């Protein structure tokens, strides 16, 4: 499989104290090999593995194994940035490794996005007789930060595969629900060139639909204006009748005094005529 044989690339970081089983977890997932002898990581290690989901989407998981030593704290913070998911480790037979989880969680809060997927993994489940941390303690801590919780044995590859596959599925679901923008590097996601072109095309189609939806009320308003314009000519043709009516009313008002004057003068004229006749 070449570098571009995937749709998405996810960045996962593995953090926790030295000796909690991060490197063994990584080896089992990528190579299916359990590391017998403890060999502390210096700085960081990097491995990748691709998985294909039922819908044909191929995801390449990049897993960064950071050293748990305090002298590499600067490197740990740097590589926790822009991560899609983080797996925090402690071992059930070490109370100190469990107490250190608070420090690792604080590092994630400082440098990661608010959409990072977090999993707490308790290793050495096969060493129950040496347990120092109860299962409920780990589960309570995970619940307090809205994280998944697992107790595992690094001998169990199926369990390890299930954890990574579940994380990949959750990140992919956030992308599909538009809660993660795969073009924004802060979310620890990268798309192949082909997938990026398809995603950009989908965004363009979405923008066109939004524009069409926004423009439809404007067309309706234009229709309403046209309806108003079809009505308004009737109003304008009726308006010239008003001045004629007003002129008639004015003439009638002007004629009223003349008629009144005639009615007043007529009896006087008749009286004078009778007076001269009688004389």
CATH number assigned to the domain comprising residue 20: 3.40.50.300
- Asked if residue 264 belongs to a domain, the reply is no
User: Residue 189 above 70 pLDDT?
Assistant: yes
pLDDT for res 37? 54
Q: What is the pLDDT of residues 74-95, one digit of tens each?
A: 677 888 889 999 999 999 999 9
User: Residue 36 above 80 pLDDT?
Assistant: no
The C-alpha atoms of residue 107 and residue 214 are separated, in whole angstroms, by: 44
Note down the domain range covering 174.
Answer: 8-191
Domain count, the chain: 1
pTM assigned to the model: 0.70
Which tokens in the block code for residue 207?
Answer: 């923008």
- Asked if residue 160 belongs to a domain, the reply is yes
- Asked if residue 278 belongs to a domain, the reply is no
Confidence label for 174 from pLDDT (cuts 50, 70 and 90): very high
**Which residues, at least 6 apart from 116, have a Cβ–Cβ distance to it below 8 Å?**
83, 84, 85, 86, 108, 187, 188
- List, as one string, the DSSP characters of 35-55: --S----SSEEEEEEEEE-TT
pLDDT for res 137? 97
Confidence label for 170 from pLDDT (cuts 50, 70 and 90): very high
Confidence label for 221 from pLDDT (cuts 50, 70 and 90): very low
- Asked if residue 239 belongs to a domain, the reply is no
**118-127, 174-183, 196-205, 263-272: lowest mean pLDDT where?**
263-272
- Asked if residue 120 belongs to a domain, the reply is yes
- Asked if residue 19 belongs to a domain, the reply is yes
Across all residues in the chain, what is the average pLDDT? 78
- Asked if residue 263 belongs to a domain, the reply is no
* pLDDT average, residue stretch 3-13: 86
User: Residue 38 above 50 pLDDT?
Assistant: yes
pLDDT for res 258? 55
pLDDT for res 3? 47
- Asked if residue 233 belongs to a domain, the reply is no
- List, as one string, the DSSP characters of 103-131: HHHHHHHHHS-TT-EEEEEEE-TT-GGG-
Q: What is the pLDDT of residues 156-169, one digit of tens each?
A: 999 999 999 999 99
């Amino acid at each position: 499989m070449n570098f571009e044989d995937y749709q998405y690339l996810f960045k996962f970081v593995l953090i926790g104290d030295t000796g909690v089983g991060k490197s063994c977890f990584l080896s089992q997932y990528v190579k299916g090999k359990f590391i017998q002898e403890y060999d502390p990581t210096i700085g960081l290690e990097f491995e990748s593995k691709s998985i294909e989901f039922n819908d044909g989407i191929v995801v390449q998981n990049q897993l960064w194994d950071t050293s748990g030593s305090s002298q590499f704290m600067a490197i740990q913070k740097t590589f926790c940035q822009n991560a899609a998911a983080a797996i925090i480790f402690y071992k059930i037979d070490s109370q100190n490794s469990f107490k250190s989880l608070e420090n690792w969680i604080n590092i994630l809060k400082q440098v990661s996005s608010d959409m990072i997927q977090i999993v707490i993994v308790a290793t050495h489940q096969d060493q129950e007789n040496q347990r120092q941390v109860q299962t409920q303690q780990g589960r309570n801590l995970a619940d307090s930060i809205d994280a998944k919780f697992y107790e595992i044995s690094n001998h169990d590859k199926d369990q390890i595969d299930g954890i990574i596959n579940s994380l990949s599925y959750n990140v992919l679901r956030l992308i599909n629900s538009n809660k993660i923008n795969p073009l924004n590097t802060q979310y620890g996601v990268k798309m192949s060139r082909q997938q990026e072109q398809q995603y950009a095309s989908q965004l363009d189609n979405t923008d066109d639909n939004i524009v069409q939806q926004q423009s439809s009320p404007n067309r309706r308003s234009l229709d309403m204006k046209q309806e108003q314009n079809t009505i308004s000519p009737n109003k304008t043709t009726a308006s010239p009748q008003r001045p004629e009516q007003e002129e008639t009313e004015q003439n009638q008002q002007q004629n009223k005094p003349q008629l009144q004057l005639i009615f007043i003068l007529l009896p006087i004229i008749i009286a004078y005529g009778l007076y001269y006749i009688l004389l």
